[in-house]
């Protein structure tokens, strides 16, 4: 599993050197943000189903053609899979918050996603709409502290970007 520590150590290793001062500073910076990330992970986990549902509802409202016959939200199975996909992304965001790096998203969410959606003939814009809506909904201090929200939003931006 890739984390802030393994990323830095692997890079230094590959270059045949010990981690430099700036490598260590980046690890230290990440460790200092760990409390904020853990808070975000905990709050997200506690509310994940409701957050995913809101994102799903917003994206289907925006792209209501998806409900038409033959489209990707037209059957109960498809609806369930769509909501499940949004939950997958949120769960991966959660793992990234815990490990302090984008490894889980990169390896399990983003690698190959374009090919999968293309093969299944699924548009990515509704995913972007769902996650962007979710991005606008998080609110500090109501949902989590400002620092935690910054960490959470950065990962949402990262996924949104990968799908845009």
Ligand X SMILES: CCC1=C(C)/C(=C/C2=NC(=C\c3[nH]c(/C=C4\NC(=O)[C@H](C)[C@H]4CC)c(C)c3CCC(=O)O)/C(CCC(=O)O)=C2C)NC1=O
> What residue ranges bind ligand X (CB under 6 A)?
59, 66, 72-73, 78, 81-82, 85-86, 88, 108-109, 116, 120, 122-123, 126-127, 130
- 139 annotated as a binding-site residue: no
Judge contact between 63 and 125, C-beta under 8 A: yes
**Nearer to ligand X (CB atom), residue 2 or residue 150:** 2
Give the DSSP letter of residue 64: G
CB of 118 to ligand X, least distance (A): 12
**Nearer to ligand X (CB atom), residue 19 or residue 123:** 123
**Nearer to ligand X (CB atom), residue 104 or residue 138:** 104
CA distance 1 to 53: 29
Residue 51, preceding peptide bond in cis (omega within 30° of 0)? no
Give the DSSP letter of residue 106: I
């Amino acid at each position: 599993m890739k984390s802030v520590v393994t990323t830095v150590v692997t890079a230094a290793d590959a270059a045949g050197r010990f981690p430099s001062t700036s490598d260590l500073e980046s690890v230290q910076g990440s460790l200092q943000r760990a409390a904020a990330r853990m808070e975000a992970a905990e709050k997200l986990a506690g509310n994940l189903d409701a957050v995913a549902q809101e994102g799903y509802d917003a994206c289907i409202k925006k792209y209501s053609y998806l409900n038409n016959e033959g489209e990707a939200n037209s059957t109960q199975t498809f609806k369930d899979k769509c909501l499940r996909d949004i939950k997958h992304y949120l769960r991966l965001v959660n793992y990234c918050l815990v490990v302090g790096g984008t490894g889980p998203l990169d390896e399990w969410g983003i690698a190959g996603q374009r090919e999968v959606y293309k093969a299944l003939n699924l548009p990515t814009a509704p995913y972007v709409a769902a996650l962007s809506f979710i991005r606008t909904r998080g609110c500090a201090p109501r949902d989590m502290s400002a620092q935690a929200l910054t960490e959470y939003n950065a990962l949402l931006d990262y996924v949104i970007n990968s799908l845009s």
